[in-house]
């Protein structure tokens, strides 16, 4: 593992994203996360999984620098499907996954957190999907999951303005379960994880399976269409301008092409 650390104690597995400075979710990070889940899925000594980020952020988003190495919209769509498939697997995982969010969960970082079974956040954390700021759109099912948590109107505001919300606001909106002072986040996360870890694995697995029956019928069609449009937007002049402007640390000049 190059960018992930993980350990197990008291039936709680902790996965730490360690890709400084922003814990960007590159394709390599996504593949490493899939490999760790392979290990934990069949480990009888693991009852709960906690995901958090090392350093200042949970994850500030996808790896924009990696975007500059992608040549076609179809390759961009394939990257979207890589993230979508992994996050759907997490959502349907038969062991609870808790996101412990501090600093920022933006773009792909929030999409990762939304794929977890629930989210514990710091009061001052920033959560949002700011992809339109770069002339892009979410690609890891963010356009489909966010409205399920906060409703269509709030999701539209967050997506179209690229404005993040705080951890406290995320709890109020239904995106997060509980907000804590930053110093108390991990202590409270492990306290809740310990409560779950003591439960019957058979009963916990049954509850998680039952959650899967609550999915909207069009979710899978929506995420597939998102992947297609993710590639199409990447291929546009505005998409390329947004990425270049981000790398150059300047405001993008979008022209609508």
CATH number of 1-182+199-257: 3.90.226.10
210, 216 contact by CB (below 8 A): no
Q: How far apart are CA 40 and CA 49, in angstroms?
A: 8
Please identify which of the residues 111, 123, 169, 226 carries the catalytic annotation: 111
89-114 pLDDT per residue, tens: 999 999 999 999 999 999 999 999 99
Which of 11-15, 99-103, 180-184, 247-251 shows the lowest per-residue confidence on average (mean pLDDT)? 247-251
63-72 pLDDT per residue, tens: 988 999 999 9
The CA-to-CA distance between both ends of the chain, in Å, stands at 40
Q: Hey, what are 93's tokens?
A: 């995982």
Catalytic site includes residue 111: yes
Helix (H, G, I), strand (E, B) or coil at 165: strand
**pLDDT for residue 97:** 98
Catalytic site includes residue 131: yes
> Model confidence at 1, in pLDDT bands (50, 70, 90)?
confident
For 248, other C-beta atoms within 10 Å of its C-beta total 9
H or E, element range at 244 = helix 237-248
State the sign of the Cα–Cα–Cα–Cα dihedral 109, 114, 118, 123: positive
The domains of the chain are located at 1-182+199-257
Which of 31-45, 214-228, 233-247 shows the lowest per-residue confidence on average (mean pLDDT)? 214-228
Beta-carbon contacts of residue 165 (< 8 Å; ≥ 6 apart): 126, 127, 128, 158, 173, 175
H or E, element range at 74 = helix 73-91
> Model confidence at 192, in pLDDT bands (50, 70, 90)?
very high
Please identify which of the residues 32, 123, 131, 226 carries the catalytic annotation: 131
**Beta-strand relationship, 118-122 and 12-17:** unpaired
């Amino acid at each position: 593992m190059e960018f992930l650390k993980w350990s197990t104690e008291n039936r709680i597995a902790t996965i730490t994203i360690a890709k400084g400075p922003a814990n960007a979710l590159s394709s390599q990070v996504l593949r490493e996360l899939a490999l760790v889940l392979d290990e934990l899925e069949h480990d009888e000594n693991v009852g709960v999984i906690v995901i958090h980020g090392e350093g200042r952020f949970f994850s500030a988003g996808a790896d924009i620098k990696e975007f500059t190495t992608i040549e076609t919209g179809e390759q961009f769509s394939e990257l979207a499907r890589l993230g979508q498939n992994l996050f759907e697997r997490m959502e349907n995982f038969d062991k609870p996954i808790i996101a412990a969010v501090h600093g920022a969960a933006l773009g792909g970082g929030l999409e990762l957190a939304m794929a977890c079974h629930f989210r514990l956040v710091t009061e001052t954390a920033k959560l949002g999907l700011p992809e339109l700021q770069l002339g892009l759109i979410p690609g890891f099912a963010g356009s489909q999951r966010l409205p399920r948590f906060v409703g269509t109107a709030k999701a539209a505001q967050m997506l179209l303005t690229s404005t993040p919300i705080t951890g406290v606001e995320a709890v109020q909106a239904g995106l997060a379960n509980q907000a804590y002072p930053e110093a108390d986040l991990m202590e409270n996360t492990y306290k809740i994880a310990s409560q779950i870890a003591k439960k019957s694995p058979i009963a916990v697995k049954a509850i998680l399976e039952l959650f899967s029956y609550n999915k909207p019928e069009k979710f899978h069609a929506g995420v597939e269409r998102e992947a297609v449009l993710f590639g199409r937007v990447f291929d546009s002049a505005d998409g390329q301008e947004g990425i270049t402007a981000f790398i150059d640390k300047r405001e993008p000049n979008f022209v609508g092409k």
